[in-house]
Amino acid sequence: MTTARLVTSVFTITEFELRKVFHDPSQIFIRAIQPLLWLVVFGEVFAKVRVLPTTSYSYLQFLTPGVLAQSVIFMAIFFGITLVWERDLGLLHKLLSTPAPRYSIIIGKTFAAGVRSIFQAILVFVLALIIRVQLNMDPISILGVLFVIVLSGMCFSSLSIFLASLLKTRERMMGIGQAITMPLFFASSAIYPIDLMPDWLKIVARVNPLSYVVDALRALLVTGDFSHLPTDLGVLVLAVVILVGLATLSFRRIID
């Protein structure tokens, strides 16, 4: 009974978040602009200068998984703003007055953010095809990529909900989002190999969940070397569990 209700609540929340996307699909295309710029402008230029040692792969092959991860995470990190907005309007109070358990609301919302990221992945795939980046496109790799992407969407959107319940205003959320996206991105293996970093930055990159996301995506899409994959997925799942837990615990503060 309880489990069935939990599942119903989670999927209901997810379903309606996605319905909103379908009512206004333009947001998906607008979100494609940034990854497009990274691939076409940054990627093409850096591929020309050949300063980054990316072993046997082209720089664009190296970069594409990084840009994919980045586009998913940049979207998820601002997810908390939506919640603050819904709190300000009154939607959240009504949602919390239903018998749906609190954690099912958090899991549903973060899962929706994860599933939304799939649209993002599809767009980056299409872009990569257009500019002729060689990627592994077999069904197993694609499914693996989608799985990793949903998990990373959940990971960073629950982090965002956690931050939103502490910061409570949209302005602060915009600020913190801006403040943490760039360090997350640059202190990861998204645009250059970790080996190039100074030692202190390597340590940061090792605890940065984005590094594991990028590593998993790169293994699936480019190298086909799955030796790190269990670690990558393990870290990611652990991060999701911890962050969803934290978000659920801190969530009630958002309405006080």
- Per CB under 8 A, the list member of 37, 44, 88, 182 interacting with other proteins is 88
Q: Are 13 and 109 in contact (CB under 8 A)?
A: yes
Q: Between 78 and 125, name the residue whose CB sits nearer to other proteins.
A: 78
In the complex, minimum distance from the CB of residue 111 to other proteins, in angstroms, rounded to a whole number: 15
Q: Between 41 and 255, name the residue whose CB sits nearer to other proteins.
A: 255
Stretch in the footprint of other proteins (CB under 8 A) among 12-20, 181-189, 191-199, 213-221: 12-20
Angle at 20 between CA 14 and CA 25, to 5 degrees: 120
How far, in Å, are 38, 70, 183 from residue 195 at the CA level? 22, 20, 17
In the complex, minimum distance from the CB of residue 93 to other proteins, in angstroms, rounded to a whole number: 5
- Compute the Cα dihedral for 22, 26, 32, 34 and give only its sign: negative
Rule CB under 8 A: say whether 24 interacts with other proteins. yes
Cβ atoms < 10 Å from Cβ of 229: 16
Q: Find the helix or strand (DSSP H, E) in which 81 lies.
A: helix 79-89
How far, in Å, are 90, 111, 158, 253 from residue 241 at the CA level? 28, 12, 9, 20
Rule CB under 8 A: say whether 16 interacts with other proteins. yes
Rule CB under 8 A: say whether 137 interacts with other proteins. no
Q: Between 119 and 185, name the residue whose CB sits nearer to other proteins.
A: 119
Distance of CA 141 to the CA centre of its chain: 18
Q: Tokens representing 67?
A: 């840009």
Q: Tokens representing 106?
A: 């958090």
In the complex, minimum distance from the CB of residue 13 to other proteins, in angstroms, rounded to a whole number: 8
Stretch in the footprint of other proteins (CB under 8 A) among 58-66, 97-105, 144-152, 153-161: 97-105
Q: Between 26 and 55, name the residue whose CB sits nearer to other proteins.
A: 26
Polymer length of the chain: 256
Rule CB under 8 A: say whether 26 interacts with other proteins. no
**Which residue type is seen at 60?**
L
Rule CB under 8 A: say whether 20 interacts with other proteins. yes
List residues binding other proteins (CB under 8 A): 5, 8-9, 12-13, 16, 19-20, 23-24, 82, 85, 88-91, 93-101, 255-256
